[in-house]
Structure 1
């Protein structure tokens, strides 16, 4: 087991700490010691250690009622502090006055707070005067004030908001990584939007195998990211690229398609949406250029058509006809009855 002296960090001459317990805003020294606890003793990566320390430090500012900078900016600030320390450590054996002076300045700055306050904290009307005064005193001298007088009810409320935001961020990261694992391998084969039958293997003749097997292959449902109906639905429901990718992967699984043979990435969905919108725009221009007859007749008729699930469903074909054999198919919506 390593002795305490062996655990001490160079220049700081203190060992990494297990937690920050003071009723004051954390100092640069405390933040640096916590970073090396995660990085050196817990074996976490540099980015993982930075993230863990930021999540520990932000609640101190929340309890003090002081608005903070973003999590990303806080992580960048901590990374810069670690880099300055490592740069000094590289030059520790160089006997130059400049290096010794830089070390002394760094040691003196470690006593200051690790400032995560928002740039407008002292000007905002929603920040209490006593909280602003506390921030000023902490910036000048950390030892002069503490958080003993903070409103605990407000502090707990803000701390729960921070924890809830962290949980939501982790859930979104897990969702994104899960989708990426499901859909990262190969591109979907190109197929026409009007085709609804799945491809049949070319290694065997349709004459081979039973009639029921051929019928099953013929009616097997499929789905493509290039389907215009699917793309228009994404746009109509205002789905983001990530949401569109997630719904496509889930639908493909329900239809029994092999997710491992697909590669539905965000860029794939984005390119398909752009191409689909261009095709839709061309169709609109084509329809506008057609001459509309003066007299039109509206027709509708119920039809039993195959659905994506492989069953049949009742749909209504709506058609406009006019002179000179003009025909306009308005749509084939599903019957609500």
Structure 2
């Protein structure tokens, strides 16, 4: 079972969108509204607290009781929130002390949230109001506000009327004196006209004194902002203030009158906010009109500063993908990065976009909060959806975990801490290295022995992949270093890039640095341990790792690639037993793509023989023959013990992994199963097989999609607006603009901006 709904609050109960009742607000009232503002309105803690306090103050003003400063009230509410959070974090711990604290806190929830001024009892003049405050401070908040004090209300109304009349009288007097001065000056002008005619040498003096007859220039009404210009300003991270300068200069550059246009910060800000909201509404409407048959939801989290204040929170980009479709749903913030919070946030976004019935798969990083067996976000979200869903663990994340384990086993770097000391030394010495003198694989007996039988195969793979387009220059550099180390030839001159970031979080840096240092080992001082670690890492990367990393995004090839990787690691024991066993132990915990359903991806893999496909089709159709075996849960990942690997690699794979449950993959994506009855030789000409191959081939089995939107949120987290709703509109607008104008080519920029 999944945990408490996100609409429920620990100890407090349900959330409320406003404070109700005829008593002064209790602690429970305030906390329920505070959580509503944070979870449903998506405000941060500080903004939510201030908004809740504003509601509280309405009741305190009705009761005519002096209150504390607004900021102090908010500070008190945030302290109450932190006390509740502390109890919630410890609610799974066993101990009478924790239960006692929870009971004591719960007993005070219906007590008054007291924000009265410290001198309130001396300030209040009416005895009934004093008595009411004392009663509200008692257990259960005795008493209530029954209605208006008519006599006092009439008295206050008379006072307000007097003050308003006094204000108008003073205003009239000021205007009257101003006009009298102007009239006196006009009379003076007429009386001295004859005198002025005699003094023709004196220059004329103009008195710029405003009067009732002075003409006032009309306010500029012409709007300069368009949807495209507004989106462009957002994409370029131009603030409202900077936009004023930029737009003014542009108007001047095209020889127009600036006075004709409404160019000020307020007008520009309001217009941009309206454009963002309308643009987001159009994006959502167009997406809903697509009426997708299925969707795959991606998410990834990142700790970022809150929009207001110095706190930090988890941001969770939620993205939907389908065939030729990708759409950001939102980037909600989480109070905690737990599986339950992630599940609730993703569910809310899917519900908001009407996608709950469309989702057929999750793409996620294999962290405990996502893939935990009992309280992971995937399990909880699947339970909330109420049906079986495909678990597509990010393949890049899986292989990053393996490489990290290999680095630790090779004693290359500390298992904790962000930096690798050897890399830091290398970057400091880079300027002293002669880039034309480097070593290759044949210069060392160990690397020669390990790589000799795979050199041509790996070199051919790397040279072919260099012709591809990559999301990052790191990918290309990594392949180039492999080609150089294996003695291959690159197009053009050999150029080595300046070493970049080297912290442990960047997996690509590990491979790049290892190869680069090994290439220049004769010019860089290394200990014998460091050199041995470099050789182990580099050989593992070249022989086992590079190919599986670069082919990771291919969904159809995933099952066969994983089978081949297991075999490759098992055989690598002959080269480096410890490294091979370390990698195997990690990998067998992540056989997501050998599960009952995912292994059926391979039915579209051209590397599977016709005979194997024939056997696979028979096994997939077995559910029609054996109704008893249809009962059972579909496994989310294949289970394999380390001692069973020798038998596993000698099985008929992937045929032996196919079960009658595998056919659910085709049913999930509305792929007709009739082609399974045909001879596999004819499948390539069958329309349903082609449709299935296109759909499965389009599945994104790496989480680069969500990671791109993490980067988007990082870029704009502190830019342009601090309003949570506008921040979501901003992200949608920027993503849409980048999709429409992916580059700066003239042809691209000349395209019209279609809403």
Same fold per superposition (TM over 0.5): no
Q: TM-score, normalised by structure 1?
A: 0.44
Q: TM-score, normalised by structure 2?
A: 0.20
Structure with the higher fraction of residues in helix conformation: 2
Greater C-alpha radius of gyration: 2
